[in-house]
Structure 1
Amino acid sequence: SSASDNMDEETTFWQKVQSHQKMASQLPAVERVRTLLDRSSSGMLSTFSQKYDGYPSGSMVDFACGEDGCPILAISSLAVHTEDLLANPKCSLLVTKDPADRTDLIVTLHGDAFFVPEDKREASRACYLRKHPGAFWVDFGDFKFVQIEPKCVRFVSGVATAMLESGDFTEEEYKSAKVDPISQFSIPVASHMNRDHGEDTKLIVQHSTGIQVDHANIIDLDRLGFNVQ
């Protein structure tokens, strides 16, 4: 009986969560995707291996997105993925909102990589260094800038939960989406609220959802509200 009661309580809890999530204002999925890529600085680059013909090859890489949403990488001529891209520019870049949480937003950008020509190098360099100011090695002779031109962008979130959501966007849809202007303040605002106003956040959650909680930490925020854990 006790086990049955606990199951009923958990079912009721998740029903309330789902009901709240359906009513809550959220950014359009394409804006969440565009914002995640803009705010991210590293991901998994997958290329077609030249050493192991026909098999994919993965590399952890740093990147920065330009104003058009195209990822810009600084890669060495000594890197395996450089050889792969020279032979076949088709690639993908996987980015996660929270690497430790597989239920959170995961985005895969599929596209064609091209080496930035010399007359556009300075713009790419400036973009990359804004995201990675300590990357002095980009001026080494063996480093080149590569830009990935998106063809399709896929996303999934809520894996293995009742909040599963997935979809894909064309190049035009992705590039025309706006980066949320408030997301850049997520870390300082969340840190301040969690440190100094945790009780207030808990009361907001209880008032908004009707769910009693022991605590509530802000994870991130955008122009429409904030996510809590």
Structure 2
Amino acid sequence: MQPTSDFNPSHLAKSLLRRSRQGALATLMVDSGDPYCSLVNVASSPDGSPILLISRLAVHTKNVLADPRVSLMLDERAPGDPLEGARIMLLGRAEQVGAEQRDTLRRRYLNAHPSAENYADFADFSFFLIRPSGLHLVAGFGRILDLKPAQFLTDTSDAAGLLEAEQGAVDHMNADHREALGLYATRLLGAEQADWRCTGCDPEGLDLVADGKVLRLDFPERVTSPGELRKMLVRLAEEARAKRLA
């Protein structure tokens, strides 16, 4: 059965990659090649690829270092029957992060998991990036299909300026514009009132978190520079305020 016409699989897959904070990581056992599955915390890189912070003392890390082929299951954690919620199974290779990427991925991971700062620099812990080769999406009857990386990763090739300014923008929003973040969450995304904060941004959207709940605010158009980001955030704040008057 083909997916219905109102179904946007790329958008849903991207949203799950951005909103997920835990997932099931499948690796291959070093000696036997048997499948091994473990629960891991995840964050997203600027293009949406999953970031892991794992210890070399863990079985899954030993497996990855011997054979980088992995799969990662992420789901909506919907109430009720979990099989009724959308989920993705991402295939790829887990690569230890090099010095040129470490600062960016470390920052994004710690924004998503602040408590990890207590152990992120321990000698046995390392950051890994899963470089996807494909993705299997299950989102209900008639909504099951495979996607290629170009269909669920965000193009960042023209956004160097935005990515360089990302942390400054995140810090500025959290320090000076918490009201706007709350408006994005409640009036544009329909969430409950909470102490919403920003954990990251990229050309396609903004990530928000409060009380363990993660939201994705999609931009109506791509932004690739700090100036474009500033204009977009002002525009969205104005739209959110106008909703109260409507």
TM-score, reference length from structure 1:
0.64
User: Radius of gyration: which is bigger?
Assistant: 1
Q: Determine what percentage of the aligned residue pairs are the same residue.
A: 31
- Structure 1 position 74 matched with structure 2 position 56: no
* Equivalent residue runs for 1:1-229 within 5 Å: 28-51=8-31, 53-98=32-77, 100=79, 101-136=82-117, 137-158=119-140, 163-176=141-154, 185=185, 189-191=190-192
Which amino acid letter does the alignment assign opposite residue 129 of structure 1? L
Q: Distance in 2 between matches of 1:76 and 1:147?
A: 14
Shift of residue 96 of structure 1? 0.6
The unaligned stretches of length 5 or more in structure 2 are 157-183, 194-214, 221-246
Q: Distance in 2 between matches of 1:141 and 1:73?
A: 15
- Over the aligned positions, Cα root-mean-square deviation in angstroms equals 2.8
Are the aligned partners of 2:185 and 2:192 in contact in 1 as well (CA < 8 Å)? Answer: no
Shift of residue 79 of structure 1? 0.5
Listed one character per residue, the Cα deviations across residues 146-179 of structure 1 (whole Å, up to 9, x for unaligned) are: 0000000111122xxxx3410011112221489x
Q: Distance in 2 between matches of 1:65 and 1:71?
A: 5
Q: Distance in 1 between matches of 2:131 and 2:139?
A: 24
Shift of residue 49 of structure 1? 1.0
- Closer, same or farther in 2 for the Cα pair 1:75/1:141, shift >3 Å? same
Shift of residue 188 of structure 1? 7.4
The unaligned stretches of length 5 or more in structure 1 are 1-21, 179-183, 193-219, 225-229
Are the aligned partners of 1:30 and 1:177 in contact in 2 as well (CA < 8 Å)? Answer: no
- Closer, same or farther in 2 for the Cα pair 1:108/1:143, shift >3 Å? same
Shift of residue 98 of structure 1? 1.7
Match of 1:189, SS? coil
Are the aligned partners of 1:34 and 1:177 in contact in 2 as well (CA < 8 Å)? Answer: no
- Closer, same or farther in 2 for the Cα pair 1:99/1:79, shift >3 Å? farther
Match of 1:140, SS? coil
Are the aligned partners of 2:89 and 2:135 in contact in 1 as well (CA < 8 Å)? Answer: yes
Q: Distance in 1 between matches of 2:71 and 2:130?
A: 9
Q: Distance in 2 between matches of 1:98 and 1:33?
A: 14
Shift of residue 103 of structure 1? 1.1
Shift of residue 40 of structure 1? 0.8
Larger RCO, structure (CA 8 Å, separation 6 or more)? 1
Shift of residue 118 of structure 1? 2.3
Are the aligned partners of 2:47 and 2:155 in contact in 1 as well (CA < 8 Å)? Answer: no
Are the aligned partners of 2:15 and 2:216 in contact in 1 as well (CA < 8 Å)? Answer: no
